[in-house]
Amino acid sequence: MEEYKHKQEEKTAKLKEAQKRREEKSQALARYHSKKAEVFRKLSMKTKKGQPVMKGRLEILLHKLQQNMQS
């Protein structure tokens, strides 16, 4: 009986750990998609004449430079 309870506890612990990993993975994927959408939105902005808006491009470049300086 003790062995059965021990196996059940191990099984539930494994299930909880797997659930936690799935949640972390889905959260990371959601952050990735939102960041990618934000970058796309900034890069796809155009002026009335169809030229790219440089403000968004410079913001992205500045953000990349700041990240490189920190690491």
Mind listing the pLDDT tens digit for each residue in 20-36?
Answer: 999 999 999 999 999 99
Summarize the confidence of residues 1-8 as an average pLDDT.
89
Summarize the confidence of residues 48-65 as an average pLDDT.
95
Quickly state the pLDDT bin for 17 (edges 50, 70, 90): very high
Per-domain residue ranges of the chain: 2-70
Distance of CA 32 to the CA centre of its chain: 3
Q: Has this prediction a pTM greater than 0.85?
A: no
The answer to whether residue 57 scores a pLDDT higher than 90 is yes
The answer to whether residue 44 scores a pLDDT higher than 90 is yes
The pLDDT of residue 34: 97
